[in-house]
Amino acid sequence: MRVRLVKSFTFEAAHFLPTFPDGHKCRRMHGHSFRVEVAVEGDADSAQGYLVDYGEISAAVEPIREALDHRLLNEIDGLTNPTSEMIAAWVWRRLEDRLPILAEVVVHETCTSRCHYRGPLA
């Protein structure tokens, strides 16, 4: 049985987007209550009845959440331009070895704006 599991986590952080035009509101420092969804996908073990324990996903995500929470994202190595797209790819790179069945990372920057990232192109 093919399934997709999704685990969400949140963090509070500030950022500014240095590549936006002068005068654009996002070029100024501001903060968000980010929500990130981590999706894994695969065939559930028929004997056990599940794909992976949600706790394994949480354990893989927690160091990433701690690295982002209550930080200025621009100061984090690899996030000097912390757009939703860049944050999603940054999270993916830190999870892909720990969650080999990683299928998607979704970064919700606001209640109405989000980025879906499904990994680098082969």
- Which one of the listed residues 12, 24, 30, 70 is annotated catalytic? 70
Question: Is 70 noted as a catalytic residue in this protein?
Answer: yes
65 three-class SS: helix
Question: Is 111 noted as a catalytic residue in this protein?
Answer: no
58 three-class SS: helix
| Phi, psi values for residue 22, rounded to 5° | -55, 140
Distance CA(46)–CA(41), nearest Å, equals: 15
Distance CA(7)–CA(61), nearest Å, equals: 9
- Which one of the listed residues 26, 41, 56, 115 is annotated catalytic? 26
Question: Is 109 noted as a catalytic residue in this protein?
Answer: yes
Q: Helix-strand-coil percent breakdown of the chain, rounded to 5?
A: 25, 35, 40
Q: Looking at the annotation, which residues are catalytic?
A: 26, 70, 109
